[in-house]
Every structure is written in C-alpha cells, then in structure tokens.
Amino acid sequence: MNFFRGVMGGQAAGPQPSGAETIQKLCDRVASSTLLEDRRDAVRALKSLSKKYRMEVGTQAMDHLINILQTDRSDSEIIGYALDTLYNIICSDEEEEQDENTQKQVDDLGAQFTDHFIQDPEHLTLLLTLLEEFDFHVRWPGVKLLTALLKNQGPQVQGVILVSPMGVSRLMDLLADSREVIRNDGLLLLQQLTKSNAAIQKIVAFENAFERLLDIITEEGSSDGGIVVEDCLLLLLNLLKNNSSNQNFFKEGSYIQRMKPWFEVGDDNSGWSAQKVTNLHLMLQLVRVMVSPVNSPGATASCQKSMYQCGLLQQLCTILMATGVPADILTETINTVSEVIRGSQVNQDYFASVNAPSNPPRPAIVVLLMSMVNERQPFVLRCAVLYCFQCFLYKNQKGQGEIVATLLPSTIDANSISAGQLLCGGLFSADSLSNWCAAVALAHALQDNLTQKEQLLRVQLATSLGKPPVSLLQQCTNILSQVGRCSRDGSKVQTRVGLLMLLCTWISNCPIAVTHFLHNQENVPFLTAQISENLGEDERLVQGLCALLLGICIYYNDNSLENYTKEKLKQLIEKRIGKENFVEKLGFITKHELYSRAAQKPQPIFPSPEEMLFDHEFTKLVKELEGMITKAVHKSSEEEKKEEEVKKTLEQHDNIVTQYKELIREQDAQIQELKEQLSSMTSQNEQMQATMTQQLSQIQQHKDQYNILKLKLGKENQNQGEGSQVNGMQTEELTQLREDVEELRKQNALLQTQLDDKDALINKLVSKYEIRPLERVKSILDMTIEAELEALRCQLQSQSAELNQVKMERQELLRRAEAGVNILQIWHFAEAKSSTESRAELEQQLASSTSTVAILQTEKAKLQTAVQESKKEQDDLLILLSDQDQKIFSLKQRLKDLGESVEDEDEDDLDAKDQMDDDEEEEDDDEEED
C-alpha cells in the first residue's frame, strides 16, 4: 500500500517515476498480487491514468484488464474499474477543440485498441455476459464500452453479436432497465448496433422493439419530449429504413395508428423549441419511410390506406393548413403529405377536398400553388409544393381532369382564383423559377392522359386589349421564341427548358396536338434555327430539347398537313441540320449531369434554383422517345412504307386476335351458361326423381290396398249373403280414391309436359350453340341429357302402365259395386292405416263373440259365468250396430240429397233387425229353462 501512496501523490523523496514506469509497475501489481484489494487499487490507479496516458495504458494494461474481467467477476467494484479503464483507452471523451490531424490520430488509436480487443471473439462474449449483471457499476460502463466498440468497428462487432447466443436479446433488456441513464445509453447502443445490418434489425424488431420504443416516446411526451424521444425516433428509423420486412411488421402490428397522436400540435403554435422541431422532423421522416416511392407498390399502398383510415393523413393536412408552424416543419409536412397521397386515389380525393381556414375558404391545392408561384417564398418550400402537386396528379386522371377543367372557358369563375389561373400566371411571369415550376406542374396534368392533352388545346388566352385570343399552345411557342431571341447571353435557360418540357409532354403520343403545333408556320423554322446554331454549354441543352420536340413532330405525325409530312420534315432536317448532327444534339440531353440527378428520385431536390432544370417524369419520357426518334429520322421512305405495311399487318393480326379473344370470351360465357343450365336440369331431374319415388310409393300403397280388398271381397262373398250392412265411411273413401286417381292423372300429364319442354329446350340449345370449339361440350351434354331423359321415359312408362292397371282394376271394382255388390264388402278394408287398425279390432271382437256363442251352445252347463259375460258383450255389440244403423241412415240421406241413387233396403234392414230380436228372445228363453 505504501507503493500506491507514493504513486498517487505521496511525499517520497528523490526523482519521481515517469508515467510509463508507473503504469508498468501497476500492471505488474495487477498481474502478481494475490490480494483482491491490491489488484482493485492497482486497477483504480490505472483508470485514473487512462485518460492522460491513453497510449501507455492501452498498450501495457489491456491484456491485464481483460484477464481481470475473466478472473475477478465476483467483485463488481474491480470489474467496474476495469470496464471504465477499457472505455477510456478505446474512446476519448475529451471535448477540447482539436485540429484535424490530432482528431484523426485519436480515432486511429481507438480503432487499433478496438481491433486488439475484438481480435478474440470471446472477449465480446464475455462483455455481453457482464451486461446481464444488474449492478449499476458493472452494467453502465459495459454499455458504454460496447457502444464505443460499435462506433469504431461496427461490422466486426455486429458479426460477433449476431452469432452470439441471445446476444441481441441481452441488449434489448437494457430498454426495460428502471434506471434512466442505462436505458438511455442502451438506446445509443442499439442505434449503433442496428446501423446497416438488416439481420440485426429484424431480430431487434421481433424482440418487441417497436412496442417498447413507442411506449417510451409516449411516456416522454411525444413531440414535446426531450433528447430521449429523439434517440427513440433515430432507432426506429434505423429499424425501418430500407427494411421491407420490418415495415410490414410495423404495419401489421397496428403501430401506424399509434403515430397519429404525435402530430396533434394544438392551436397555439408559438414558441416551438429546437428539440420539438427536431422531434417532429424525425416523426415526419418516419412516416415518409413507410410510404417512400422506393418501397414496393403493394406495401406503400397498404400503408397509405392505413394512414387514411386511422386519420393520420387528416392530421397532417391540419398541420399543413395551420398558422405559426416553422418553415422547415411546414416544408417537411408538405413532402410527407405528398408521399402519403402519391398514387392512392382515395387519399388524393381526400386531399382535393381539404380547404384552408381562410375567408372565403380556398382549396388547399390553390393555397399551395400560390406559394409555388410566389418568388418571395423559400426555395425549398416551393420545391415541396411542386412535389406535392406532382404526387396529387400521379396516376390520377380524375385530378388531372379537374385541373385542366379550371382552364376551359366554360368553367372559369371570374370571382375566384383557380389552380389553372395560377399555373398560367406562373407560366408567363417574369420569374424564371415560377415559369419552370408552372410548366412542370402543367405537364404533370397531361402525363399519360390523351383526353386532357386534347382538352387543353381548347384553352384560349387574351394577350392584350383589342387583339384576338390565342391558344395556350400558341402562346407557349410565342414566349419560347421571344425568350430565345432575347437570351443569346445564356439567361432565361430555365424558362426555355420548362416550356420545352411542357411542349414535348403535351404533343407526345397526341397526333392532334402535333398538327396544331405544326399549323403555326413559325414553329418549325424556329426549331431548326435553334438546333443548327453552335452556342454555349447551356444552349446545347436547349438545342437538344428542340431536337426532341422536332423529333416528336416527326414520330407522331399523321401527315394531315401537306407541308409538314414526315418525309418533308426529315428532308428539312437533312438539308438544314444534318441527320448525324441532329442525333448528336438529341443525345446531349441524357449526357447532362442534371438529367442523371433528376432521374434518380421523383422528389425535386436541388441545391440551388439554377440547377433546377429537369423533372423526374420527363427523364422517363426522354429515355422512351430518344431511340424511337433516332430510328424515325434515319429511316428512308421505303422503309417507312414497309413499316406501315407491317404495322397494318400487325394491326390486322391484332384485330384477328382480338376477334378470337372475343369469340373465346363468348364461348366461355356460353359454356358457363350451359353448365348452369346443366346444373339446373340436374337439380330438376333430382326433384322429378324424388316426386316419382313418392308416386311409386303411393301406387304401391294403392296396390296393397287393392289386393287386400280383393281378398276381403272373396272372403265376404263366401261367408255372407247379399244383404249386408253398408259402412258409413265408404262413400268418403270412394270419393278420396277418385280424387287420388284424378291427381295421379294430373301429375302424369304434368311430368309428360315437363319432359316435352326439356326435349324442346335441349333441341334449341343444340341448334343454337352449334360452334366448333363447343362440339365436345355439346356432345357430352347431349349424351348426359339423353341418358337422363331415357331413364326418365322408362320410369314414366312403367309408372303409366301401373297407373293404367290400377285404373282398370278400380273400374272393375266400381262396376261390380254398381251391380249390387255390397259396398261394405268392397271397400271395408280400403281406409287409411289408422282407421284400418280400429276396424280390425272390431272384426276380431265380432269373431270372438261368434265363437263364444258357439261354445255357449255346446257347453251351456259348464260355462255359466261365460254366458253372462257373453251377454254383456252382445249388448255392447247391439249398441254399436244401432249406432251403425243410424250412421248408415244419415249417410244414405246425404247421398240422396246429393243426387246419388241408393237402393231402398230399409225393409230388409227392419226384417233383419226383427229377426235378430226374435233370435235374442229365443236365446233368453233357452237360458231361463236351463
């Protein structure tokens, strides 16, 4: 311990050791001391010297410090000193201003020590293990050390962490630490970890990073929060930018909806702090990442839909129209709204309906265009408005029509300012930037829309009092020629480029517009004069655009003007300019540096207004037309004729193909119709089969009843005489059977009618759809339908035969009944099943009584008790017979009332009754004698 007191400021006499010697002695003490306290004091001394003697400590002590991390993990204090010392030698926290060379040396030194530390991957694994310690003096310096390693050698450290088991999960646990300093430094660590590494970004996202980060942002006050909110937003940007998997996960997790409260800025927008501006700027960037044009179209459209449904777009439009919003936030908001509505019809329609809170209310588009053509507005704001207008018209033919309609004579309102009036005002103003922006905006209203190109030809402008109005197309060419004659010094290049881009977009793929352009006798001489001159660098760009415009006049020329046919224009180029010179001037457009820059991104981003020359969509048009115009200029008349013939042949071929396609569509429709009809007929067939099955069941029931009647009739004829009683229910049964026969007759006729209808329908379908591609389908359908109909005919023939047999048998029964056969004997057993069972019981009782009487007559002496019981039963039978007589009498009366002929058997009935009474008296007398 005396040694350390001398090193750390004791008053030992003699010369003091140098820093390197002291560090060497401390390192020896760390390596050789057996007491933990001595090693701890030595590491503490190294920590205090590590900032001043960074090189020496790093060179001599790093290996000893790493060994301490491995051997003394049980003592958190010495581990904390070792981690702090390693952090100091790897990362310099000195904030003094240093020159460039000194800073470079410091960075190189940190990179060297980082390389030495990560040379063995086990060292990083050890550090990740130490981060699991909850002790503040271990975890916090460990987080700072790992962050410094990532800053110095990010890819190498990321590779080790990626293959380390649970490496990323251990770092994600830092966000859940209750100590804010560790949580905040953990955010910085994850920022470094997720830079340019998609695999780690995915792992962090699936470790529930989005939920935790959004919770922290909400807890910290959203846009009003501090630096922690900024760190969370930066980490979110790292996770989402150029990572489609994480973007999809963010959208499907409904995290877009949680972004809406970020943009509720309130009515009082005064006093925006610098931190709030930074936070809101990052939040807007986060929205743009989700709907960036570089994303896949499907993912972008899905995010745009979610932003509209959750109200995020509405909230952004509120900020757009609010007052007191800082200029940079307003600019970024305009850019964000632009990409949220780009290519989304629903969002574009909503944006078209947004009004500014002015008196009277004006559409947001008009207010923005007023800023775009106002030369006093900031340049970046005007670029943002132009981008917003371009995105509003992107793939939006409805919006294009609305913009062009504001220029047509029938829709102009003199009391209000329209978008078309602002564009025309900017197009012909004295400000070159306004000219360019208005020309590009108007060109986007015509992009890929032939209808609006033709409609814009109707626009007439009043140039001055007393002069007739001129068309917008003519006015553009007039201004172009005027500016060209007055700008030999190279000025107004921006205006001419803008007008030329508008004219090229307007007349491309529109022969009518080409005819209108060529109809002005001054246009072609002006273009040829511009192309043939030898001017400066900027003028060469104008010459290339003039060559493009003239080439469009050749390529899309319909030869309706005799003086300016394709052939004559090519001859003019060959004489006045030269084909090779023309193609060279045309090719200069794509070689221009600003052309390449504009072709990269849809958003117009320019360092200065002077470099604002090309539009992104126009670069696509040039790329498409350059090759076609070059070929058109070099072609001879014979080649053109051949091409025309080939084109006509191709058109004819296309027409034939179209006809065949239509024929195939019709046949597909017919096949589908036949399938539906077949399905319908199949279902009808099943219904008919069910009906036939039911009818067959009924016929079988009637046949069974008929057989029972025949048997019963024969039996009754043998056992009884002609004078029998008539059952009161037979008339109703006869009527019911007659109705059944009539109903079966009707059903048979109906089935036959349906069969005839189906035969007619099949014949009609066969004759109607006699088409070659359908021959196989028709033959299959014919075979199927014929088989089904044949089966139906067989079943119906069988049914008809059975019905005829039943009718003949029933007629025979009726004939016999009319000849005097007892109605009771014929129809007694033809009742329904329920009444049949009751009558069967009655017959059994009668049979029992008859047998009982016979037994009583032969064995009177033996069965006295049975005789009394038999008497009782006979009394019941007499009562029943009396009731039957009454029913028969009433039914006979009803038959007479209905006009039926009924035989008068009352006397016979009375005689029979008297006879029965006499028999009963005799039996009573016999019993008394016995």
DSSP one-letter string for 155-213: HHHHHHHHHSTTHHHHHHGGGG-SSHHHHHHHHHHHHHHTTT-HHHHHHHHHTTHHHHH
Cross-strand partners of 622 = none
- Report the C-alpha gap between 518 and 449 in whole angstroms: 21
Residue 352's pLDDT band, with cuts at 50, 70 and 90, is very high
Residue 94 is encoded by which pair of tokens?
A: 């000195």
pLDDT score at 781: 47
Cross-strand partners of 363 = 355
CA angle 736-740-744, nearest 5°?
Answer: 170
615, 598 contact by CB (below 8 A)? yes
The mean per-residue pLDDT over the stretch 174-200 comes to 93
Q: Over the chain, what is the mean pLDDT?
A: 80
Residue 83's H or E segment, with its range, is: helix 76-90
Q: Which of 158-167, 321-330, 705-714 has the lowest mean pLDDT?
A: 705-714
Looking at the chain, how many residues does it have?
930
Burial class, 70, CB count within 10 angstroms (exposed 0-12 / middle 13-18 / buried 19+): exposed
CATH assignment, 18-196: 1.25.10.10
The residue among 714, 839, 389 whose CA lies nearest residue 381 is 389
- Report the C-alpha gap between 733 and 744 in whole angstroms: 16
Half-sphere exposure of 688 (CA within 13 A, CB side): 23
Residue 461's H or E segment, with its range, is: strand 460-461
The residue among 421, 415, 383 whose CA lies nearest residue 403 is 421
For 170, other C-beta atoms within 10 Å of its C-beta total 16
338, 387 contact by CB (below 8 A)? yes
Non-local CB neighbours of 142 within 8 Å, separated by 6+ positions: 83, 127, 130, 131, 133
Residue 361's pLDDT band, with cuts at 50, 70 and 90, is confident
- Report the C-alpha gap between 212 and 171 in whole angstroms: 13
pLDDT score at 862: 59
- Decide which of 3.90.1150.10, 1.25.10.10, 3.40.50.20, 3.20.20.140 is the CATH code for 208-353: 1.25.10.10
The residue among 379, 394, 358, 473 whose CA lies nearest residue 427 is 473
pLDDT score at 50: 86
pLDDT in tens, 872-918: 766 776 777 777 777 777 777 777 777 666 555 444 444 545 555 55
Residue 823 has pLDDT above 60, yes or no: no
CA angle 163-164-165, nearest 5°?
Answer: 110
pLDDT score at 764: 67
pLDDT in tens, 676-729: 888 888 888 888 888 888 888 888 888 888 888 878 777 666 655 444 444 444
Stronger pLDDT, 64 or 821, i.e. the higher one: 64
The residue among 222, 218, 210 whose CA lies nearest residue 280 is 222
pLDDT score at 97: 43
17: which DSSP letter? P
Four-point Cα dihedral 377, 381, 387, 393, nearest 10: -50
CA angle 398-458-421, nearest 5°?
Answer: 65
Residue 761 has pLDDT above 80, yes or no: no
Non-local CB neighbours of 282 within 8 Å, separated by 6+ positions: 230, 233, 234, 237
Query: Which of left, alpha, beta for 535 (phi over 0: left; psi -120 to 50: alpha)?
Result: beta
Residue 496 is encoded by which pair of tokens?
A: 């001419």
Highest mean pLDDT: which of 9-13, 532-536, 678-682?
678-682
pLDDT score at 711: 82
472, 424 contact by CB (below 8 A)? yes
Single-letter residue type at 658 = T
The mean per-residue pLDDT over the stretch 271-288 comes to 92
Please give the CATH superfamily to which domain 459-635 belongs: Leucine-rich Repeat Variant (1.25.10.10)
Query: Which of left, alpha, beta for 920 (phi over 0: left; psi -120 to 50: alpha)?
Result: alpha
The mean per-residue pLDDT over the stretch 462-485 comes to 82
626: which DSSP letter? H
Q: Which of 68-77, 439-448, 697-706 has the lowest mean pLDDT?
A: 697-706
What residue ranges of the chain are covered by domains with CATH 1.25.10.10?
18-196, 208-353, 459-635
Is pTM, for the whole model, over 0.85?
no
Stronger pLDDT, 9 or 231, i.e. the higher one: 231
Single-letter residue type at 355 = N
Residue 302 has pLDDT above 50, yes or no: yes
Four-point Cα dihedral 116, 121, 122, 127, nearest 10: 80
The position carrying tokens 């060469």 is 540
394, 345 contact by CB (below 8 A)? no
What's the distance, CA 24 to chain centroid? 69
pLDDT in tens, 109-149: 888 889 889 888 899 999 999 998 899 999 999 999 999 99
Alpha-carbon torsion 822, 825, 831, 835, what sign?
positive
| Cβ burial 364-392 (10 Å sphere, 16+ → b, else e) | bbbbbbbbbbbeeeeebbbbbbbbbbbbb
pLDDT score at 832: 38
Four-point Cα dihedral 586, 590, 592, 598, nearest 10: 130
pLDDT score at 759: 66
For 247, other C-beta atoms within 10 Å of its C-beta total 24
Residue 470's H or E segment, with its range, is: strand 470-471
- Report the C-alpha gap between 253 and 672 in whole angstroms: 43
